[in-house]
A = this chain, B = another copy of it.
Amino acid sequence: MFKKIGKFALVGSVGVSCFIAGTYYDNFKPFETETIKKLPGLPFFGTVSAATSFPPPPIESKANRVSQIMKYGFPGYDNIRSFDDYVLSYDHRTKVAHWVFEHLTSESVKRNETVDRAKCEFKPDESIHTYFRSNNSDYKGSGYDRGHMAAAGNHKRDQKHVEQTFYLTNMAPQVGRGFNRDSWNRLEKYVRKLTKAYVNVYCCTGPLFLPRKESDGKKYITYEVIGANNVAVPTHFYKVVVGETQDGKLEMEAYVMPNQVIDDNVPLSSFQVPPESIEKAAGLLFFDVARNKISKINGKKN
């Protein structure tokens, strides 16, 4: 699936790409493969056996839908919230999600004509304790977009589904022009298009707070917080995507993008990273129950 976007073609060929790559590689060092060991039995719930995983099963009750979305396990277990078409884990400290999980198919991403995004409103998630809940007022005047983790464009089959993506638990402060509205959106569209190549697409999205080496030689994590609730502005965002082929093969791609203006010409492939580097920084394990079944990671044989 990488040939489409000219993998490696432009890496380092433009200034912004160099800067992004530099920012990234200062902080992310791929692990020695021998250190990558899996703990047995984790995660222990939320995974369902689904022998008949394709053709994609009809989307029925909310309980069934959660089982479909989370088929390959929960990345972590902190403050889980299940919506009709996505599932998330919320971080009470940063006031943004740890991870947001979606299951996409060519059917599920189709837009129903009656669905109207313009009717949607950003709204606080009242299932979160007031101490930890982000509000629209936190974002006001901050200069940041309320950026979707589960993309609105993935949930246009039903007005209720798309409206639920506007809960502030599904938002994080994102740079607007040059990121949320541009390169991040490019990545979202790319993931949506993967439903043409795969029977099932599982997408996990979230924030990162990555360290930088400063002039004193020490590493620091620095991020802005906005509003009265101190909503954290992530330094980066990740997407870890698994595609399931007709014959049951699993292929993974993992992306990290800095939360800053990115040149539209930087190819998405230049943001690919070893998934382990995201796991360690985020404190999560992605698709852990299926990792030994994944045949390709970022286009290379696993």
Stretch of A47-55, A278-286, A290-298 with 4 or more beta carbons under 8 angstroms from chain B = A278-286
* Cα separation A278 to B225 with both chains bound (whole Å): 16
- Within the complex, which residue of B39, B222, B226, B229 is in contact with A222, where a contact is CB–CB below 8 Å? B222
Residues in B with CB closer than 8 Å to A111 are none
Q: Are B211 and A219 neighbours in the complex by a CB distance under 8 Å?
A: no
Cα-based distance from A223 to B285 in the complex (angstroms): 24
A220 and B224 contact, CB distance less than 8 A: yes
Interface residues of A in 246-302 (CB under 8 A from B): 276, 279-285
- Are A282 and B93 in touch, CB under 8 angstroms? yes
**Docked CA distance A221–B234 (Å):** 11
Using Cβ atoms and an 8 Å threshold, which residues of chain B touch A279?
Answer: 131
A37 within 8 A of B: yes
B35 touches A283 (CB 8 A): no
CA distance A225 to B77 in the complex (A): 24
Selected from B37, B226, B283, the residue in CB contact (under 8 A) with A93 is B283
Q: Which of B211, B223, B230 is A281 in contact with, Cβ under 8 Å?
A: B230
- Residue among A131, A230, A284 with max Cβ neighbours from chain B (10 Å): A131
